[in-house]
Chains A and B, each alone.
Chain A
Amino acid sequence: MRSLPTLKNVDRERRLFQQRIVVACVAMVLLTGVILARLVWLQMINHDHFTTLSHENRLKIVPLPPPRGLIYSRDGVVLAENRPSFSLTVVPENAGDVAAAVAELRTLLDISDEEIEQFMRQLRITRRFENLTLKTDLSPEDVAVFSVNRYRFPGFNIEAGLSRHYPLGESMAHVVGYVGRISETDLKTIDQSNYSATTHIGKIGVEKAREDLLHGQVGYQRVEVNAQGRILRVVERTPPVPGVDLYLTVDARLQAEAIAALDGRKGAIVMLDAATGGILVFVSNPAFDPNAFVNGVSRARYRAWSTSSDRPLFNRALQGQYPPGSTIKPLVALAGLQYGVRTPERTTWCPGWYSLPGDSHRYRDWLKGGHGNVNLKLSIAHSCDVYYYDLARDLGIRRLHDMLVRFGLGEITGVDIPGEAAGLVPSPAWKRRVRKLPWYPGETLIAGIGQGFMLTTPLQLAYATSVIANRGEALIPHFLDQFEGGAEATEPVSPEIYRRPGVSLADPHYWDAAIEGMDEVVNGPTGTARRSGAGAKVRFAGKTGTAQVFGIAQGVDAKDQEVPEHLQDHALFIAFAPVDQPQIAIAVIVENGGGGSRTAAPIARTLIDSYFRDLPVPQSGSDG
């Protein structure tokens, strides 16, 4: 292209080079300035900000769960404890093909379909780097088998923890209740920071009612972690405050004997310490194994329990509402005395039936031929219905209602476990409000013998019995005896906090009249429960009752009919012992057990004997 080759000018080239060096140097200085400016910005101006970020990076606060308080019975038996337990967990991110690993694990360990299903559900909704539980409560053998094969399962771990356990199982299920995993609903009611390390919470029973005492205070440790979240060092530690240990009023030995006495029949038994209101026995049969709920009950098992006609999950003693039947007759008698419509001596003629004036309907007595002339004491001893039809008519439903309510019927007793049923003492006001119907006079008569609309729980009956036994003094039934641990040392719960306004009568001798009647039931030659009273270690008083399940048509003798078992009457019995210095009050109900004297009273007798077995026999009065 070019005609002449350009000559190389060495000096010019050198000057040009030197110029470029100057340019390069300036550029280098400028760029270094940029880097330095950035470093000043990072290390001087924003140093504090980045220091904070770096602390947040490395320091994590890990909450520590407090060990849950233990629960003991009155006689020192552990009802709820924390057992070391091992669970198999996995961080999916580290496990590779989780499904394959789980399938492989099933060849080694016994993992149920249910557990797999639950795990797979969780796997879908949790994040990959979060710890998931595959199986809880591994046996020591499982732990050993897994540990040997562990190298095959990266990401899987055995985690040790504490798991709630109920050594007595079914027997205390309806008292102690159980804990379960914290649910969405629970989250709304708890202090979430205090529960940040806790996985389980009381769901029913004492476990729920005393959650505040049992739980304790969460602890914290500040740990240094690396980028993988592995804990390298504990910087500081605030230990958790363990939950408080509870001592209940329930007696494990008596509870077991009460269950044995029921002999597999459905029913409920409540025994109260008359002096304190403490609940000694609280049986609802059949029951369930509370341990099944701790780590999630299997669906099949839950379905079996919840659909069974025996209703094992149902707390009969607390929530079962039964017509009290004749067991309320002593209370009605007391109302008659208090309102001056009866004296202990006044008799009523019982022909075996009763009719309201101007009405042909015959209200029958349970004894077809009638009881003849009965006074107050015999009316209780023989459980004469006619006496109480007549008395109820004289009292009127309002006064009857008022007296029964003063004995705690128709309202919750305030027992210290949740879910109590209130029962029902009917009144014209109630009927108008709920049934939108007027009150009929005949309904007053029926109420007088504890039938009709009236409903009571076994706990209410035991409570009302204790009020009679204490001649009007009232103590709220409760389970909590004392607690230990926490901030205070032993804290005996004073019985005074359970005292509430009782029943005061115009004349204290009215109590004697009612109690003499109940004494006659058991110890009189013609009492309805005389067979149960014979040979008892201590003299006790009681009242039988029968709650109708199946209405029998007018003019038909019930004894002539074959009634299927589930339609047979419920047998009831209330009692207190000893007669003159009462220490315990009992209510027994046997579902479909027939008459109270036949099935319920013997159970009460057994328990009374059992209670006084190891105690010095209280000196009874002059009679004997």
Chain B
Amino acid sequence: MDRTSNILFRFHIDLPLFGGVVVMCALGLVVLYSASDQSLDVVLKQVARILIGFTVMIAVAQVPPRRLARWAPALYVVGLVLLGLVLIVGIGRGAQRWLDFGVLRFQPSELMKLAVPLTVAGFLADKVLPPSLRTLVIALVLALLPAAMIIEQPDLGTAILVATSGLFVLFFAGISWRFIRNSTILALAAAPLAWFSMHDYQRRRVLTLFDPGQDPLGAGYHIIQSTIAVGSGGVYGKGWLNGTQSHLEFLPERATDFIFAVYCEEFGLIGVAVMLIAYAMIIVRGIQIALDAQEMFGRLIAASLVLTLFIYLFVNMGMVTGQLPVVGVPLPMVSYGGTSLVTILAGFGILMSVQTHRKFIAET
């Protein structure tokens, strides 16, 4: 036992976190097998991505937090350049989100999901907290600039998530409640402005959220079909591979953004409880890591990554159950897709790095 944890510690792997992630990824594969209409091909592809993700996670875990903080600005700048490239030459379905490097298709906005909190945390860690107004303004610009570029792609969901991951760092750094309150009021006042700058499809998504029935075959179709899937699953679910909504193709995007609906339909409320417990294990461990961190950078990055993970869950589940607009946020570790999975796992690598590079001063 001791030897195992020693080996794990030498490779900077945090066992509780690692265990939670493995459980979640396994659960994800089970759901994916059903959601992909029992395509072993899809599942094997996802397994390959998970393996890549784990490699990245462990690699990141080897890097001490201080070095991560040092590298962050460079990562951030590269991210900005790539976002600019996407706007100019990017490819994508309806929206420009991807860069095609021949063998690898890459979504620079995913990189920003890590680069932004890392940079903001690195910037704030050395400052006197709660931050002064000047520091605050610089941090806000760091968080919002990439988000603004991502909105231009246009990808509202990712833009919001990138911005919030930076804003969460500010929140944990202790910006005053007064500031939070005032800026919230300001944001609400600016909402009409945002409405007019939105693309038609984004407006439609917001509108259909309030009344999915108004366009049952168009934008409302996703929400109607997914609530039917979730509701008809009941407490016990229809059973694995038996979800009629999913298998008869009523459910759109069922392997990616709407995979939670497949899960709810087939495993019911009990299954959902199991999944929430698995996620809770990861989140609780993440908070522990944040609280145990010896340096401010570690605390800020760990806490903001955990909260961002939760937001992913909340937005995806809220979207599938018809409480939030359809914004295109995958369910972490379950949805089919490579880049977001690698990003999430790299985030866990950062958490492990924070946890395993502590110095043991005054060990009792």
Contact = CB atoms under 8 A, between A and B. Distances in A.
Nearest to A2: B132
Given A18-B291, A227-B248, A232-B248, A50 B272 contact: no
Contacts of B307: 24, 28
A225 B244 CA distance: 10
A35 B317 contact: yes
Interface stretch (A40-48, A406-414, A425-433): A40-48
B303 A42 contact: no
Interface in B152-192: 171-174
B139 interface: no
Interface string A8-26: 1100011011101100110
B230 A17 contact: no
Given A50-B230, A57-B250, A21 B172 contact: yes
B296 interface: yes
Contacts of A38: 318, 321-323
A308 interface: no
Interface in B296-316: 296, 299-300, 303, 307, 310, 314
Given A42-B321, A224-B248, A20 B303 contact: yes
Chain A binding surface, main DSSP class: helix
Interface in B104-141: 128-130, 132
Interface string A42-76: 11101101110110011000000000000000000
Given A8-B128, A13-B129, A20-B303, A226 B234 contact: no
Interface residues of A, number: 42
Interface in B202-236: 225, 227-235
A57 to B, nearest CB: 5
B232 A50 contact: yes
Contacts of A13: 129, 174, 296
B235 A51 contact: no
Contacts of A46: 231
Given A13-B129, A13-B296, A21-B290, A227 B250 contact: yes
B250 A43 contact: no
B27 interface: no
Given A43-B234, A50-B227, A54-B232, A21 B248 contact: no
Residue with the highest number of chain B CB atoms closer than 10 Å, among A5, A7, A58, A225: A58
Nearest to B310: A28
Contacts of A34: 318, 323
A32 interface: yes
Contact of A225 (B248, B269, B318): B248
Nearest to B290: A21
Interface in B272-300: 272, 276, 283, 287, 290-291, 296, 299-300
Given A25-B287, A57-B250, A58-B244, A43 B174 contact: no
Nearest to A24: B307
Interface residues of B, number: 44
Nearest to A40: B269
Contacts of B244: 54, 57-58, 224
A53 B228 contact: yes
Residue with the highest number of chain B CB atoms closer than 10 Å, among A6, A13, A40: A13
A227 B231 contact: no
Nearest to B314: A31
A6 B229 CA distance: 57
A228 interface: yes
Interface string B228-262: 11111111000000001100111000000000000
A39 interface: yes
Chain B binding surface, main DSSP class: helix
A516 B241 CA distance: 91
A43 B283 contact: no
Residue with the highest number of chain A CB atoms closer than 10 Å, among B230, B231, B276, B291: B231
Nearest to B269: A43
A227 B228 contact: no
B268 interface: yes
A46 B233 CA distance: 11
A47 B228 contact: no
Nearest to A54: B232
B218 to A, nearest CB: 14
Contacts of A9: 128
A39 B321 contact: yes
Contacts of A31: 310, 314
Contacts of A40: 269
B245 A54 contact: yes
A387 B232 CA distance: 93
Given A20-B303, A38-B323, A50 B314 contact: no
Given A16-B174, A24-B307, A49-B231, A44 B248 contact: no
Nearest to A56: B228
B264 interface: yes
Contact of B228 (A5, A6, A54, A226): A54
Residue with the highest number of chain B CB atoms closer than 10 Å, among A8, A39, A58: A39
B241 to A, nearest CB: 15
Nearest to B318: A35
A58 to B, nearest CB: 5
B291 A44 contact: no
Interface in A393-438: none
Residue with the highest number of chain B CB atoms closer than 10 Å, among A7, A25, A43, A225: A43
A44 B235 contact: yes
B231 A226 contact: no
Contacts of A57: 225, 228, 244-245, 248, 250
Contacts of A14: 299
Contacts of A24: 171-172, 287, 303, 307
Nearest to A7: B128
Contact of A42 (B174, B230, B245, B250): B230
Given A43-B231, A50-B230, A53-B232, A17 B321 contact: no
B57 to A, nearest CB: 23
A391 B193 CA distance: 106
Contacts of B321: 35, 38-39, 42
A576 to B, nearest CB: 70
B70 to A, nearest CB: 19
A39 B272 contact: yes
A39 B250 contact: no
Nearest to B177: A23
Contact of B230 (A7, A18, A43): A43
A440 to B, nearest CB: 76
Contacts of A232: 248
Contact of A28 (B283, B299, B318): B283
Contact of A44 (B129, B130, B269, B323): B269
A39 B264 contact: yes
Contacts of B290: 21
Contacts of B322: 38
A35 B310 CA distance: 12
Given A39-B264, A54-B232, A57-B248, A21 B287 contact: yes
Nearest to A47: B234
B291 A21 contact: yes
A126 to B, nearest CB: 17
A58 B227 contact: no
A31 B283 CA distance: 14
B306 to A, nearest CB: 8
Nearest to B244: A58
B268 A17 contact: no
Given A39-B264, A43-B264, 5 more contacts: A21-B172, A21-B291, A47-B235, A53-B232, A54-B244
22 contacts: A8-B129, A13-B129, A14-B299, A17-B296, A17-B300, A21-B290, A21-B303, A35-B317, A35-B321, A38-B321, A39-B230, A39-B272, A40-B269, A43-B268, A49-B231, A50-B230, A51-B231, A54-B229, A57-B244, A226-B248, A226-B250, A227-B225
Please give me the 7 A-B residue pairs with the lowest Cβ-Cβ distance, nearest first.
A50-B231, A54-B232, A16-B174, A42-B231, A50-B232, A226-B248, A47-B234
